[in-house]
Structure 1
Amino acid sequence: MIVDVEGVEAYCYTGGRQFDPALPAVVFIHGAQNDHSVWILQTRYFAHHGFNVLAVDLPGHGRSKGAAKTDVEAMAAWLLALLDAVGVERAMLVGHSMGSLVALEASHQAPGRAVKLAMLGTTYPMKVSEALLETAKNAEPAAIDMVNIWSHSMRAQNPACPLAGVSAMGSARRLMQRMSALNPAQLFHTDFSACNAYANGEAAARALACPALFIFGSKDMMTPPRSTKTLTTAVAQGKIVHVDAGHSLMTEQPDAVLDALFAFAKA
């Protein structure tokens, strides 16, 4: 679905069903150098089981036009403007990695609009090493290869994971390469810099008034579970679920992630 947001075209995947604002809405927000397609299994299930789905492509990513936003606060404001444009007053927000910070910040900018908040592969502060920032700026293909390796557990490096004949790592690498081809303006560096600079996470978490779910990959090297204490202890109504996966947990353990998200949405 194409939506006009502040005069610029934005794309939302609706899970193979026609958008119906009368249904309860679930909004999915991808991470750095990704697009809506990282949520394919989860969004299709939600859309065919009683929910209105909006899996967004953030500006400068996938099929959404315009320049990529350079900070988390601007991405969150854009997300709220998109919800205004489609007539969604309240929604469950689901974000992965950078997208989790966008979801958290959106809940802070517009208290009451998030009925529930699910954060996957998240941490705060979400610091990025200077070496990786420099590589993303000056050698993006190398940064893609590095992050792709760090985002997957050893289990995912088996070409038969999660399905025979499907390479989880190969698919993730091609997606990030495609984002570079669509937006050559150092997109990875822009996204990483936004994560690295975001400074409102603890305040937003402490102010959160809706139920929250954290889904962590037990083998995550990008946002390891041990780094999440600041965020999880700041949220008053937070539940934690661990799955046997790395940072790309939606593709490594799609069913486990779906089960946790759907149970949370229905509770």
Structure 2
Amino acid sequence: MTRLTAASLDGSPIKLGKVTLQVAHAPGKSPAIVFVHGGLGSRLNWCLQWDYFRSQGQEILAYDLAGHGQSGRYQRYSIGRHRRDLTRLLQHFKIHRPILCCHSYGVPVGLEWVRRYEATALIAIGGGTHNLTPWWEIPLIKFFALGGHHLYHWQLVQGLLRSLMVSESNAALIEFHDRNQVPSDAHPYEAIEAFWGYDAQHHPLKCPVTVITGSDDPMFPPTMGHQWLANLLHDQPRSQHITVSNVGHLVMAEAPEVVNQAISDWIHTDVQP
């Protein structure tokens, strides 16, 4: 596997309205692939996909949501504001009909966007339209927002998490974890509250959806993916659901080849209306 160079996802700050986002962009072939990370994540969550599609010469864009990574902050967060940021970002780069690839809480951002604008496809990994917050998440996130995040300043804690999450036989997962440490400041934990209680109303989408779930994902299990697909097929018969065996919530890291292939399938499929 080709190692990712440090500069390729460094990106640069772009001011959009009242917020400045940290954005990595590589020009290339259409359709552009736009990556939207989930709660507590950053643009670096897509390091394995970035490496692959950059080598393919595809136009790609990844950014830190407001309140995450190196992006600026809002005093108050909402999915609507995240969707507006994405709209302005795509207008900035003159990107039309992208493939939106979203993970976890990033899925509602992509979902709200494709309800209003044309896209080639939405890739929804470990996320959907409702019931996205497990019962234990709210007290846990509140603990870290109030001060528990300081624990992650300790290298011992980061090392322990790495040993618990990473199999030494999975080179891709090792690379992912080394580039994506758990946030050690309060703002991402505060920003994640905007996604709690998300329950999308049914509106026809403007593109097909590929739903990807890990068989061992406790947050968005395959049953939820099946239920969403059943609803999607009424409006978008080209939608599909992929379940990846022996994989948890971080499908793009645990099985990057599956995500890369799912994106590639839409690049090479004529889906013009």
Secondary structure, in 3 states, of the residue corresponding to 1:24?
strand
The equivalent of 2:72 in structure 1 is 65
- Alpha-carbon separation, structure 1, partners of 2:62 and 2:175: 23
The equivalent of 2:142 in structure 1 is 137
The 3 A distance-change label for structure 1 pair 41 and 157 is closer
The 3 A distance-change label for structure 1 pair 94 and 252 is same
- Alpha-carbon separation, structure 1, partners of 2:122 and 2:249: 19
Give the aligned length. Answer: 243
1:96 to 103, 108, 113: 103
Secondary structure, in 3 states, of the residue corresponding to 2:20?
strand
The equivalent of 2:20 in structure 1 is 9
Secondary structure, in 3 states, of the residue corresponding to 1:251?
helix
Q: TM-score, normalised by structure 2?
A: 0.77
- Counterpart of 2:54 in structure 1: which amino acid? A
- Alpha-carbon separation, structure 2, partners of 1:137 and 1:250: 27
Secondary structure, in 3 states, of the residue corresponding to 2:216?
coil
Q: CA RMSD in A?
A: 3.0
- Alpha-carbon separation, structure 2, partners of 1:225 and 1:81: 33
The 3 A distance-change label for structure 1 pair 167 and 84 is closer
Query: Does the 8 A contact of 2:225 with 2:241 survive in 1?
Result: no
Per-residue CA deviation, residues 191-236 of structure 1 (Å, 9 max, x unaligned), is 1x32222222x42xx4113121111111111111112344222213
Segments ≥4 residues shifted beyond 6 Å: none
Deviation at 1:37, TM superposition (A): 0.8
The 3 A distance-change label for structure 1 pair 104 and 68 is farther
Query: Does the 8 A contact of 2:128 with 2:228 survive in 1?
Result: yes
Q: TM-score, normalised by structure 1?
A: 0.79
Percent of residue pairs bearing the same amino acid type? 24
Deviation at 1:240, TM superposition (A): 1.2
- Counterpart of 1:256 in structure 2: which amino acid? V
Correspondence 1:117-136 to 2 at 5 A: 117-136=122-141
Which of 233-242 and 50-59 deviates more?
233-242
Query: Does the 8 A contact of 1:69 with 1:75 survive in 2?
Result: no
1:47 to 48, 54, 61: 54
2:86 to 62, 79, 86: 79
Secondary structure, in 3 states, of the residue corresponding to 1:70?
coil
Query: Does the 8 A contact of 1:25 with 1:51 survive in 2?
Result: yes
The equivalent of 2:168 in structure 1 is 159
The equivalent of 2:8 in structure 1 is none
The equivalent of 2:257 in structure 1 is 255
The equivalent of 2:199 in structure 1 is 199
The equivalent of 1:219 in structure 2 is 216
- Alpha-carbon separation, structure 1, partners of 2:100 and 2:88: 14
- Alpha-carbon separation, structure 2, partners of 1:51 and 1:163: 21
Deviation at 1:27, TM superposition (A): 0.5
The 3 A distance-change label for structure 1 pair 231 and 74 is farther
Higher helix share: 1
1:208 aligned to 2:205? Answer: yes
Deviation at 1:123, TM superposition (A): 2.9
Secondary structure, in 3 states, of the residue corresponding to 2:218?
coil
Deviation at 1:158, TM superposition (A): 2.5
The runs of 5 or more residues in structure 1 that have no matched partner are: none
Query: Does the 8 A contact of 2:132 with 2:220 survive in 1?
Result: no
